[in-house]
Amino acid sequence: MKLKTVLIILLAFVISGCTSLLDKHVIWEYEKPEQFPILRAIGYAPISAQQSDNQQIQQIMAMRASKLDAYRELAEQVYGYQIKGQSNVQNLVASDDKMKARVEGVIRGARIVKSYPVGDTYATELELDMRLVYDLYIINSKPRKIKKVEYY
């Protein structure tokens, strides 16, 4: 009879160990970085290479292309490159090397600092204040950490 009582008590402890005896309330705190860098990028596009007979349209197209190139450069700084490489060797001689680079990402909050022609090239300078990026991120995702846990 004593063994049966001990087993029942042990079983009760095992079952109660799977449930929470105390309820808790978690208080969250938001973290903010100490420093925010400002990233800068310059994009270029040739004016005369744009596909149009009208010089003004070529300049507008180059302006747009240089802006996209600057955004690509910002994306490289924020997200980095994805590099894929392949090498083939036949009879211990390298016969074929291939390499691809790719960048992908979303850039929010960048502003155009300057856009201007330089000879036959159009240049666009962009600036990305990471403080603004952080603020936009907080608005959308609300990252947090545990500040305090209260048990009751």
pLDDT, tens only, 60-70: 999 999 999 99
Q: What is the pLDDT of residue 17?
A: 59
Q: What is the DSSP letter of 35?
A: -
Secondary structure of 51-115 in the HEC alphabet?
CCCCHHHHHHHHHHHHHHHHHHHHHHHHHCCEEEEEEEEECCEEEEEEEEEECCCCCCCCEEEEE
pLDDT, tens only, 92-102: 888 888 999 99
**CB proximity list for 2: less than 8 A, separation 6 or greater:** none
Q: What is the pLDDT of residue 31?
A: 74
If one counts the domains in the chain, the total is 1
Please check whether residue 112 is in contact with residue 123, taking contact to mean a CB–CB distance below 8 angstroms: no
Locate 104 and state its tokens: 């992908």
pTM of the model: 0.67
Q: What is the pLDDT of residue 18?
A: 53
Mean pLDDT of the chain: 86
Torsion over CA: 11, 14, 19, 22 (sign): positive
Q: What is the pLDDT of residue 20?
A: 55
d(CA 116, CA 125): 9
Q: Name, of 79-83, 85-89, 123-127, 148-152, the range with top average pLDDT.
A: 123-127
Does residue 77 have a pLDDT over 70?
Answer: yes
Q: What is the pLDDT of residue 32?
A: 79
List b or e across 93-130, with b for residues whose CB sees 16 or more CB atoms inside 10 angstroms: eeeeeeeeeebeeebeebeeeebeeeeeebbbbbbbeb
List b or e across 14-36, with b for residues whose CB sees 16 or more CB atoms inside 10 angstroms: eeeeeeeeeeeeeeeeeeeeeee
Residues of the domain holding 147: 2-151
Residue indicated by tokens 């100490």: 34
